[in-house]
Amino acid sequence: MLADFFILLKQELVVTAIIFLLLFIKLGKDRSNETLLGIINLLLFLNFASGFCCSQDGMLFNDMFHTNPLIVLEKNILNLAIWLISLQSYSWLKTHKHVIEFYLLLLSTLLGMFFMISSGNLLMFYLGLEMSTIPLAAAANFDLTKRKSSEAAMKLIISSAFSSALLLFGISLLFGTTGTLVLTELPAHLSANPLQIFAFILVLSGFAFKISAVPFHLWTADVYEGAPVAVTAYLSVVSKAAVLFVFVSVLYNAFKPLADVWYNMLFILSLATIIIGNLFAIRQDNFKRFLAFSSIAQVGFILLGISGSSQTGTASVIYFILIYVFSNLAAFGVISLVSAVKGKENISDYKAFYTTNPLLSWVITIALFSLAGVPPTAGFFGKFFLLTAGAAKGNYWWIGIAALNMVVSFYYYLRVVKAIFMDSNEQPIEKISIPNYSKLALIICVAGIIITGLASCVYDYIYSLSSGL
């Protein structure tokens, strides 16, 4: 019994252990940031690596917590992302005064996400969600001297509080109409009566806030712009991915009786998200705002993928998120490096970037191509499978509009490529020497972008895991 406990909770326990370890290190004598970051990166790698051993199905705490190989994989994707982000923020944290606190915040949110993904009960889900949001707001304020950073943190905390309120209201209505909060028991009690649909809409809005789907996206760009690059990367990749993982499984399982209802809602949400995200991304000059809107558009595509049947839908969404982790983090890796070393965050600063930093230029170009969905990068496969999954119900107009929106997104991604390769600039960003940690992270990202797509075993593996749902 105790062995089960340790195996089922292994990822949570490892993260908790790292948190305590960091606390002890903090209590001990002062160490230089370089050694600290070395230790932490090693720990995060071990955390990621340990996730692969012995995974099994199981429930704990009166079905509050459940896990299966797919959930373990999802947590591993998050572990990978947080390790990559940590490697990339080396140059930023090297001179920061509060390295350990930063990681304590990040890891507590990670722990919250783990519990959220594993939740078997809406209460547990809510607890996990809050645990992952509140420390994040503190992390968004981690450029301690910048006002914009504080502003971002305030916006994040207020908007998440609002969305949590919606979510809680929805959950309480659900409990009122069905008498249960256990996810596996919900379907039996759902019958699409108006009150339940209203409750579902509230829950959906709560989710939509977290994944910044239009019209709940308004906080995204400001928060992304103000927060430190590492936190922006974390927000756009890890926290979004975690909520999406839950979203997919909740829609397909707990809200299965309402499938006709949420199919139409997803249709509207997804198209609005793709179109608005794209249109706003065209006009951005700040790189972080640009990626904020581009990530909004990407969420629209994910929603489109969810609309398909459960197995291909789940598989293509998780696959896409894995690719999205690699591509977005490759882009953020370059941006965080440039931002930390030169303090420049605008696309216009990147003009003629290729003349001085050819290697970084290629990395960011490959990342943007992957986000745009150009072969042979993995983004192509991700988008292709998402749209294929979405077309299963035969809504080809939806697919057609989404496919043409890919062309729009192409325009703004190519605009950046054009700035990097084709525009002239009298003072291009000087040559940046890449620290080894960042180099490692960028290599992993680029390798991921290329391999994840071409090696079909990744998709087939995820697909086989999704079948159990």
- Burial of residue 447 (CB within 10 Å: 0-12, 13-18, 19+) is exposed
Identify residue 49 by its one-letter amino acid code: A
Please identify, using beta-carbon distances, which residue of 233 and 366 lies nearer to another protein. Answer: 366
Q: Say if CB 102 and CB 142 are below 8 A apart.
A: yes
Least distance between another protein and beta carbon 392 (Å): 7
State the nearest-atom distance from the C-beta of 389 to another protein, in Å: 9
Among residues 298, 266, 239, 258, the alpha carbon closest in space to that of 117 is found at 239
Rounded CA-CA distance 306/256 in Å is 13
Chain positions 306 to 365 lying near another protein, rule: CB under 8 A, are: 312, 315
Which two three-digit tokens encode residue 1?
């019994």
Please report whether residue 61 would count as binding another protein according to CB under 8 A.
Answer: no
Chain centre to alpha carbon of residue 23: 27
C-beta separation of 282 from 297 below 8 A: no
Alpha carbon distance 68, 178 (integer Å): 26
Question: Is 76 or 312 the residue whose CB approaches another protein more closely?
Answer: 312
Q: Name the one residue in this structure whose structure tokens are 């039996």.
A: 188
Q: How far apart are CA 371 and CA 155, in angstroms?
A: 27
Stretch that binds another protein, among 16-24, 231-239, 381-389, 434-442 (CB under 8 A): 381-389
Among 198, 410, 425, 450, binds another protein (CB under 8 A): 410
Asked if 35 touches another protein (CB under 8 A), the answer is no
Q: Determine which residue in the list 7, 272, 275, 406 makes contact with another protein, applying CB under 8 A.
A: 406
Give 45 or 362: the residue with its C-beta nearer to another protein: 362
Binding another protein by CB under 8 A: which of 176, 215, 375, 468?
A: 375
Total number of residues that touch another protein (CB under 8 A): 35
Q: Which is nearer to another protein, 60 or 399 (CB)?
A: 399
Considering the rule CB under 8 A, would residue 198 count as an interface residue with another protein? no
Stretch that binds another protein, among 150-158, 219-227, 237-245, 405-413 (CB under 8 A): 405-413
Output 236 or 370, the one with its CB closest to another protein. Answer: 370
Among 100, 261, 399, 469, binds another protein (CB under 8 A): 399
- Binder among 42, 52, 98, 400 for another protein (CB under 8 A): 400
CA dihedral (186, 187, 189, 192) positive or negative: positive
By C-beta, is 272 or 414 nearer to another protein? 414
- End-to-end CA separation in angstroms for the chain: 25
Cβ atoms 31, 22 nearer than 8 A: no
Q: Which is nearer to another protein, 192 or 403 (CB)?
A: 403
Q: How far is the CB of 234 from another protein (least distance, A)?
A: 30
Q: Which is nearer to another protein, 69 or 376 (CB)?
A: 376
Does 243 contact another protein by CB under 8 A? no
115 binds another protein (CB under 8 A): no
**Selected range binding another protein among 44-52, 203-211, 398-406, 436-444, rule: CB under 8 A:** 398-406
Which range, of 30-38, 70-78, 124-132, 394-402, touches another protein by CB under 8 A?
Answer: 394-402
> Which is nearer to another protein, 188 or 392 (by Cβ)?
392
State yes or no: residue 69 binds another protein (CB under 8 A).
no
Q: Does 294 bind another protein (CB under 8 A)?
A: no
Does 274 engage in binding with another protein (CB under 8 A)? no
Asked if 215 is part of the footprint of another protein (rule: CB under 8 A), the reply reads no
User: Least distance to another protein from the beta carbon of 230, Å?
Assistant: 30
387 binds another protein (CB under 8 A): yes
Is-contact 297 278, C-beta < 8 A? yes
Site for another protein in 411-450 (CB under 8 A): 411, 414-415, 417-418, 421-423
One residue of 21, 342, 396, 468 binding another protein per CB under 8 A: 396
- 279 counts as binding another protein under rule CB under 8 A: no
Cβ proximity to another protein, 178 vs 452, nearer residue: 452
Residues that bind another protein (CB under 8 A): 312, 315, 369, 374-376, 380, 384-385, 387-388, 391-392, 394, 396, 399-400, 403-404, 406-407, 410-411, 414-415, 417-418, 421-423, 456, 459-460, 463-464
